[in-house]
């Protein structure tokens, strides 16, 4: 009996802490939380910071929850905007308007308006770094013009805007610039590239919903120098070059003139990889950028017989030159903008720390005016597609 009593007491004592583990203390009910998926920041007309948060609305995601049966009405997300002196104050104004607590744990996207980006992105980094729930892997975009254009984007293929933007990154359509990348760049002078978003009016979209008439797409890239957006920007072609340089592209289609008649030959590039190598020779620093890729022919308008190995080599040469030209154009633009956007300073620091400590105070000038950068591209064109000779050539020979 005594043993049973002792065992029962032990059992009760053992179960006692479980009461404390129920999670009721300072509970954060999911029903009382609002999840931010995107953070939009811009500068208002009066110079104040304009913060817009995109919230998901779970009640509009479940059929029958909006009153009455059938599919939910309205979009499953909303935007809330407020202006204030800084981001924290704007956030505070938004939070007092809401019936739920704001949660940043699911924020994947930050979009910065051009005006704010030109003034400097450091306040955003300061804010984000201190929010423990905020993931450093969140992606950053810049819009040409007003950031609120984003809210006028129709949703055709996806349910949420944030999903579209995340897919731009996952599918390597644009640069994958995260909060972490920008913070790391900030330690080295704040030079980086940020993907630009463009908005165009499409009449057919306007007909469907006049309020949502701006079609969003990836554009070029904003060049950031000293944590501020500067001019010029990279255009769409140069964005491909930037993706190529930063090894962020998996495959790409490039068209080059045919060596026989100058007509277009399109090739698919795969396994693209680019390496940076700082070289120190006689006390002079230079950079070697080496890019490798595999390619095959996708389409040709030229009357060409690809069974001739010599011709393939000539196409390969044309491809190399085309990619090299594009890469050089990107680098020249970053030099013009005085922005070491590919963080070459890091490579110098990693390999030659002493040289870096000498160059550090004057790196921006050195990069933009004195640093020789040698770009070499080695594309291996080894497949001709399904046939050797084009249909045009076959017809001509007949």
Q: Where along the sequence are the contacts to another protein (CB under 8 A)?
A: 17, 20-21, 25-26, 28, 105, 129, 132, 135-137, 180, 183-184, 187, 275-276, 346-347, 349-353
Q: Six-digit token pair at 172?
A: 């390597």
Give the Å distances, CA to CA, from 154 to 37, 109, 159, 219: 17, 18, 10, 18
Of the two residues 88 and 255, which places its CB atom closer to another protein in the complex? 88
Asked whether 55 and 80 are in contact (CB, 8 A), the reply is yes
Give the Å distances, CA to CA, from 354 to 189, 230, 358, 359, 393: 18, 30, 7, 9, 60
Q: How far apart are CA 301 and CA 383, in angstroms?
A: 17
- Least Å from the CB of residue 350 to another protein: 4
Asked whether 216 and 199 are in contact (CB, 8 A), the reply is yes
- Least Å from the CB of residue 62 to another protein: 19
Q: Six-digit token pair at 42?
A: 């811009």
In 131-250, alpha helices (H): 161-170, 179-187, 203-208, 236-245
Q: Six-digit token pair at 113?
A: 């308006």
Of the two residues 31 and 395, which places its CB atom closer to another protein in the complex? 31
Q: How far apart are CA 21 and CA 38, in angstroms?
A: 33
Of the two residues 135 and 152, which places its CB atom closer to another protein in the complex? 135
Of the two residues 28 and 201, which places its CB atom closer to another protein in the complex? 28
Find all residues with CB under 8 Å of 143, minimum gap 6, and list them.
111, 112, 113, 114, 149, 150, 196, 197, 199
- Least Å from the CB of residue 380 to another protein: 22
- Least Å from the CB of residue 30 to another protein: 14
Asked whether 99 and 55 are in contact (CB, 8 A), the reply is no
- Least Å from the CB of residue 279 to another protein: 14
- Least Å from the CB of residue 158 to another protein: 15
Query: Which DSSP string do the residues of 101-128 spell out, in sequence order?
Result: EEE-TT--EEEEEHHHHHH-SHHHHHHH
Of the two residues 20 and 207, which places its CB atom closer to another protein in the complex? 20
Of the two residues 124 and 230, which places its CB atom closer to another protein in the complex? 124
Of the two residues 180 and 336, which places its CB atom closer to another protein in the complex? 180
Of the two residues 352 and 388, which places its CB atom closer to another protein in the complex? 352
SS3 249: coil
- Least Å from the CB of residue 100 to another protein: 15
- Least Å from the CB of residue 63 to another protein: 23
């Amino acid at each position: 009996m005594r043993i049973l009593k002792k065992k029962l007491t032990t059992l009760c004592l053992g179960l006692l802490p479980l009461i404390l583990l129920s999670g009721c203390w300072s509970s954060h009910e999911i029903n009382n939380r609002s999840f931010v998926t995107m953070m939009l920041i811009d500068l208002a007309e009066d110079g104040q910071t304009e913060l817009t948060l995109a919230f998901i609305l779970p009640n509009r995601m479940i059929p029958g929850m909006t009153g009455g049966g059938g599919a939910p009405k309205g979009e499953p997300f909303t935007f809330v905007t407020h202006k204030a002196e800084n981001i924290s104050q704007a956030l505070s104004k938004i939070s007092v308007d809401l019936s739920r607590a704001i949660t940043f744990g699911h924020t994947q996207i930050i979009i910065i308006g051009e005006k704010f980006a030109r003034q400097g992105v450091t306040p955003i980094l300061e804010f984000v770094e201190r929010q423990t729930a905020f993931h450093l892997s969140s992606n950053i975009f810049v819009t040409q013009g007003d950031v609120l254009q984003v809210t006028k984007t129709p949703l055709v293929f996806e349910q949420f805007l944030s999903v579209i933007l995340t897919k731009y990154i996952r599918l390597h359509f644009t640069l994958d610039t995260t909060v972490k990348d920008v913070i790391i760049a900030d330690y080295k002078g704040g030079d980086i590239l940020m993907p630009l978003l463009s908005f165009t009016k499409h009449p057919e979209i306007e007909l469907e919903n006049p309020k949502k008439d701006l079609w969003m797409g990836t554009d070029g890239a904003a060049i950031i120098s000293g944590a501020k957006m500067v001019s010029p920007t990279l255009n769409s072609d140069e964005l491909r070059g930037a993706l190529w340089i930063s090894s962020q592209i998996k495959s790409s289609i490039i068209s080059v003139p045919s060596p026989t008649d100058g007509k277009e030959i399109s090739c698919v590039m795969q396994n693209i990889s680019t390496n940076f190598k700082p070289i120190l020779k006689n006390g002079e620093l230079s950079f070697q950028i080496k890019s490798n890729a595999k390619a095959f022919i996708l389409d040709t308008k030229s009357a060409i017989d690809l069974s001739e190995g010599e011709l393939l080599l000539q196409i390969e040469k044309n491809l190399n030159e085309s990619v090299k030209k594009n890469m050089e154009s990107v680098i020249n633009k970053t030099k013009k903008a005085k922005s070491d956007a590919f963080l070459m300073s890091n490579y110098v620091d990693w390999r030659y720390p002493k040289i870096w400590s000498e160059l550090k105070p004057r790196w921006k000038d050195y990069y933009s005016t004195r640093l020789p950068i040698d770009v070499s591209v080695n594309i291996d064109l080894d497949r001709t597609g399904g046939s050797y000779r084009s249909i045009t050539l076959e017809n001509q020979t007949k």
